[in-house]
Amino acid sequence: MTARVLKTEEYRITNEPYYAAQGDEIALFEAAYKNRLPVLLKGPTGCGKTRFMEHMAWRLKRPLITVSCHDDLTASDLVGRYLITHGETVWVDGPMARAVRAGAILYLDEIVEARKDTTVVIHPLADDRRVLPMEKTGELLEATPEFCLAISYNPGYQSVLKDLKQSTRQRFVALEFNYPKPELEQQIVQRESGVDAATAAKLVKFAGMTRNLKGQGLDEGASTRLLVHAAKLIASGISPRTACRGAIAEALTDDGEMLAAVNELSASLF
Amino acid sequence: MTKPPLSSAEIETTLNEVLIWALSTHRSATPLAAALAPFTRGEQDFVLRWADAIAKTNAEMAYQFVSQAPQSMRLMGLDGVEAWAVQAMDVYDKMGLYPACAVFREVAAFAAAERDKANGVSFEEISGVLELFVRGLSGRPLKLEAGDDIYTDTASLFLPARVTRFPDHDQNYRLYKAMVAHQWAQARYGTFAVPLTAVFAGYADPARAERLFHALETVRLDGKLARDLAGLHREMAALRAGLGQALAPAGWERQVARLQAAHADVHDTLALLAELYGSEPPEAICYQGRLHAERAEATIAGRLAHEQDQFRTALLEMLGEKQGEYGESPEDLSERFSLSRTENPDLPGEFSFSLSLDGVPITPPEDVRALMDSIIQDLGEIPDEYLTAAGSGGYRRDHADKADESDWKASYEDQGALLYNEWDFRRRHYRKDWCVLREIDVHPIDEPFVARTRHKYAGLIHSLRKSFEALRGEGRLLKKQSNGENVDFDALVEAWADMHTGREMTDRLFTKLAKLERNIAVMFMVDMSGSTKGWINDAEREALVLLCEALEVLGDRYAIYGFSGMTRKRCELYRIKRFDEPYGELVERRIAGITPQDYTRMGVTIRHLSKLLGEVEARTKLLITLSDGKPDDYDGYRGDYGIEDTRQALIEAKRDGIHPFCITIDTEARDYLPHMYGAVNWTLVEDVKKLPYKVSDIYRRLTA
């Protein structure tokens, strides 16, 4: 089997990605989209932000371009740059320019990780101008009505360096995400992995225990994503304790004492 | 080559010196020396070395040690003897001379315990993991403490100092865990939700009623654990089986069924207590421990009063947020808020509470949620009176009468003081929670000291600024990079030409903006001891002013703290500038306000400042000490002891990625500073008057 090769702006989601709404976020996003307002997703890692975006892209029938931001990501990485092809300099669009041209949904994941100069291109696109300035070519790219900008950010980081500036955040409609309520989380784990209800309930309980330890040596408790990972391992025959250790405990921490405590907690449940 | 043993007379000579303060006409060293004579030279040296170390703390202790040493060496290896001595010293630190001497006298018991050690598990080994474990089980923090009895007062879980019941290590650990789980379950599943002491007092023999009640509760909690924590329940059952203990005596089948029913709560236990009162209470199960209902009730009462206040304050805050201001806070919160409870369909008897404001359900913030959970754990519900006002006295109760002198550590912690270990090089162990440290703000004064200094050193400041500006990292355009933001056209042309002439074309065709960010956090630790009085103090203050000027240019993050104190119970750290505080008028006035205080206990200061530095995110972390002499404190913190503790604290700091450096004006520093800070991490400014000129310069060299 060969992997398909697609241009990023051609990537359309045809099958409905499973997403269980925590509240009215779907309606809110749709309303924001209709009014051409950019959206900010807040929430801890692994609580369903990216899945939500996929789901919305499917719902709105738009291509989804996702950029995971990192600390070397610059404005020209997003907008585009001149490259040399066949002895000539050729302008190549970056993901942001492509998304604007294609009227796609552009999702900048973990925006605070990106270099500060990226705000220069995000701001004009995020307010009512809706234009992308392309400094290098001296052009302005005007967004079509279908284009949508969404960014995500994890307010749980304690670092002062990783905070979103007011001038940026106040341009967005903010949707707050959190770990789903236990019943819903159980349903998600069950649905995503195929484990039985009792196992899913125990996993959710275990996640609650690790979330109790947040700030006591854990930076974050177990996310829904980690629960799904563990549940998938369990569904393929790994013993629950081993699955929790591999998929959750080791993923959360390297600290020996904390690992021992987290493993004791999972062993208490299973 | 092993040395020959010392003779009895030789030992006696040494002992006479070491134990001089414990010997008298009625008590000579002769029998002690005679008893030590038959041992090998290594053993003799060991005893004499420890006797000397102990005598530095207390001579009587040393005498007791030497008199029991021969027996101890017959019972244990030297490792065991050392552990025995260290334990006695710890007891001495905590409880005083007589209990400590008792430890020495009871050497046989200690040796027996030592033998268990290989298989036994100590509280220290498990407390870290199990504290996290119990924290994970419930949101409410529960402290683990070592005590004589196994019980809980619902704020702490008391556990034995060692568990040796089983012949293997793993099972003993499991027993510890079972104890923790059982005590936790009492607090979690509402054992203390009824006024137990009053109930027991209604029986002819309250103690017997308590034992019987506890046995019945253990059965009930076992049922709850089986439901909620199946894995743990299995382990606990295995422990009982290993010791041949039954959960309940034969004939209790009907009662067990009732206690383990899904709906069972503490009232079922009380009903069965009345029914079974005539029968003999069964023997306690290995993890059961004791029930100290009166202690739990006292703790709960205190906590509830406190939490009721907090809860009301939190509701008022939520109301204020909603209204945008506090406005007129209603006397009766129940006019606006209401609580509703719903039963969890999967867990009968478990309720969840939700809060509504003006009839609309609201999600309380995480801390309020935790508070509500905690109240529900104690009371099983949030009573309606929590929403009604307690009277006109406002919502905050006075907690001033909290301090309890008998528990000085806890009370210090309540007052915001911090406890730190101290290294005792003679014992080669830490003295736990030995120093009490408080952070205090330097009192700012209105003297125009800073302005005067700026004027005095105007020229120097100017040149300092210049040299520091040169240090400041700016973005620099790097050419010919293999990747980067922009095409390097110069390189491209070259490459183009290369390609046409048939040479290999380079791929280094980009320019890149290099990040030359200075990512430095520096902590200045300034000696404020009495010995700095006079012009040393002036020079220090001037140096700080110049340093601040320079650092402001540089943009490095910095904090300044002064340290002093008297004895381990009063170590003080004076805040002059915190990391997150701007250099401004207040800081200037604090610098002016630096006045010499008492002594210099350096270890605890370094430990605390390292902790503060650890909380700052920076690639390079510096801890720079401005000092005028050796560590010195009133209660024996001097000489080798002080130096070794300071050295140990610095080693800990280095382990945490902090670079310590010392600037001193003590001309004898060469004798001890290299040992403390390392060969290159210190510098001597011989002329105090030069200090202001030098400090900034040294800093520049350090971080260039």
pLDDT higher than threshold 50 for residue B410: no
Spatial neighbors of B371 by CB under 8 A, at least 6 apart, are B307, B310, B311, B314
Kindly list the residues from chain B whose CB atom is less than 8 angstroms away from the CB atom of residue A159.
617
Q: Give me the pLDDT at residue A156, please.
A: 64
Q: Give me the pLDDT at residue B94, please.
A: 84
Q: Between chains, do A257 and B128 touch, taking CB under 8 Å as contact? A: yes
What value does the mean pLDDT take over residues B578-587? 85
Q: Give me the pLDDT at residue A173, please.
A: 94
Q: Give me the pLDDT at residue B399, please.
A: 39
Spatial neighbors of B672 by CB under 8 A, at least 6 apart, are B630, B643
- Tell me which chain B residue has its CA closest to the CA of residue A160: B617
Chains A, B: CB pairs < 8 Å: 71
- Tell me which chain B residue has its CA closest to the CA of residue A161: B617
Q: Any bridge partners for residue A109, and if so which?
A: A68
Interface test with A, best of B121, B132, B236 (most A CBs within 10 A): B132
Q: Between chains, do A212 and B136 touch, taking CB under 8 Å as contact? A: yes
Count of alpha carbons within 13 angstroms of residue B369, beta-carbon side:
10
Measure the CA–CA gap between B416 and B412, rounded to whole angstroms: 7
B319: left (phi over 0), alpha (psi -120 to 50) or beta: alpha
* pLDDT tens per residue across span B130-188: 988 988 887 677 888 888 888 988 888 899 988 888 888 888 999 999 999 999 998 88
φ and ψ at residue A98, rounded to 5 degrees: -60, -45
Q: Quick one: pLDDT band at residue B359, thresholds 50, 70, 90? A: confident
Quote the ipTM score.
0.76
Kindly list the residues from chain A whose CB atom is less than 8 angstroms away from the CB atom of residue B137.
209, 212, 265, 268
Q: What's the mean pLDDT when you consider all of chain B?
A: 81
Spatial neighbors of A36 by CB under 8 A, at least 6 apart, are A130, A145, A148
- Give the gap in angstroms from C-alpha A261 to the nearest C-alpha of chain B: 5
Q: Between chains, do A261 and B229 touch, taking CB under 8 Å as contact? A: no
pLDDT higher than threshold 50 for residue B464: yes
pLDDT higher than threshold 80 for residue B440: yes
* pLDDT tens per residue across span A60-88: 999 999 999 887 787 878 888 777 677 77
Q: Give me the pLDDT at residue B415, please.
A: 65
* pLDDT tens per residue across span B624-640: 888 888 888 777 787 88
* pLDDT tens per residue across span B89-133: 888 888 888 888 888 888 888 887 777 766 788 888 888 889 889
- Reported residue count of chain A is 270
Kindly list the residues from chain A whose CB atom is less than 8 angstroms away from the CB atom of residue B509.
84
- Give the gap in angstroms from C-alpha B486 to the nearest C-alpha of chain A: 7
Measure the CA–CA gap between B589 and B445, rounded to whole angstroms: 5
pTM over 0.90: no
Q: Quick one: pLDDT band at residue B390, thresholds 50, 70, 90? A: very low
- Give the gap in angstroms from C-alpha A10 to the nearest C-alpha of chain B: 26
Interface test with A, best of B129, B342, B346 (most A CBs within 10 A): B129
Determine how many CB atoms are found less than 10 A away from the CB of residue B96: 11
What is the strand order of the sheet B486-487 is part of? Answer: B476-481, B510-514, B486-487
Structural domains in chain B?
Answer: 8-119 (no CATH), 121-291 (no CATH), 296-394 (no CATH), 401-436 (no CATH), 449-453+518-703 (3.40.50.410), 475-515 (no CATH)
> Comparing C-alpha atoms, which of B132, B120, B222 is closest to residue B176?
B120
By DSSP bridging, strand A105-109 and strand A148-153 are parallel
Residue A120 sits at the chain B interface (C-beta within 8 Å):
no
Count of alpha carbons within 13 angstroms of residue A113, beta-carbon side:
15
Q: Between chains, do B135 and A213 touch, taking CB under 8 Å as contact? A: yes
* Chain B residues bordering chain A (beta-carbon distance below 8 Å): 128-133, 135-139, 177, 181, 228-232, 235, 346, 485-487, 492, 496, 509, 617
Q: Give me the pLDDT at residue A160, please.
A: 40
- Give the gap in angstroms from C-alpha B537 to the nearest C-alpha of chain A: 35
Q: Give me the pLDDT at residue B516, please.
A: 59
Residue A162 sits at the chain B interface (C-beta within 8 Å):
no
Residue in B177, B228, B230 closest to A270 by CB: B230
Residue A91 sits at the chain B interface (C-beta within 8 Å):
no
Spatial neighbors of A130 by CB under 8 A, at least 6 apart, are A36, A124, A142, A143, A147
pLDDT higher than threshold 80 for residue B243: yes
Q: Between chains, do B132 and A241 touch, taking CB under 8 Å as contact? A: no
pLDDT higher than threshold 50 for residue B442: yes
The answer to whether B193 and B296 have CB atoms below 8 angstroms apart is no
Look up residue B91 and give its DSSP letter: H
Residue A128 sits at the chain B interface (C-beta within 8 Å):
no
pLDDT higher than threshold 50 for residue B670: yes
Q: Give me the pLDDT at residue A238, please.
A: 94
What is the strand order of the sheet B337-343 is part of? Answer: B337-343, B351-357, B360-362
The answer to whether B375 and B311 have CB atoms below 8 angstroms apart is yes
Spatial neighbors of B299 by CB under 8 A, at least 6 apart, are B153, B154, B155
- Give the gap in angstroms from C-alpha B99 to the nearest C-alpha of chain A: 33
- Termini Cα distance of chain B: 53
Look up residue B244 and give its DSSP letter: T
**Residue at token pair 């006797």:** B51
Q: For each of chain A's 270 residues, which pLDDT tens digit applies?
A: 678 777 777 788 888 999 999 889 999 999 999 999 999 999 888 889 999 999 999 999 999 999 998 877 878 788 887 776 777 777 889 999 999 999 999 999 988 888 777 877 899 999 888 999 887 788 899 999 999 999 998 876 544 445 677 788 889 999 989 899 999 999 999 999 999 999 999 999 999 999 888 766 677 889 999 999 999 999 999 999 999 999 999 999 887 888 999 999 999 998
Kindly list the residues from chain A whose CB atom is less than 8 angstroms away from the CB atom of residue B229.
268-269
Measure the CA–CA gap between B607 and B599, rounded to whole angstroms: 17
Determine how many CB atoms are found less than 10 A away from the CB of residue B536: 19
Q: Between chains, do B138 and A212 touch, taking CB under 8 Å as contact? A: yes
Q: Any bridge partners for residue B27, and if so which?
A: B24
Residue in A76, A257, A265 closest to B136 by CB: A265
B465 is written with which tokens?
Answer: 């600024």
Q: Which of B219-223, B267-271, B340-344 has the lowest mean pLDDT?
A: B340-344
- Give the gap in angstroms from C-alpha A241 to the nearest C-alpha of chain B: 10
> Comparing C-alpha atoms, which of B30, B68, B64, B62 is closest to residue B49?
B62
Q: How buried is residue B629: exposed, middle or buried, by Cβ count under 10 Å (0-12/13-18/19+)?
A: middle
Q: Any bridge partners for residue B487, and if so which?
A: B510
Q: How buried is residue B573: exposed, middle or buried, by Cβ count under 10 Å (0-12/13-18/19+)?
A: buried
- Tell me which chain A residue has its CA closest to the CA of residue B363: A181
**Residue at token pair 């009232």:** B267
B281 is written with which tokens?
Answer: 């209470």
Residue in A161, A217, A266 closest to B617 by CB: A161
What value does the mean pLDDT take over residues B496-517? 76
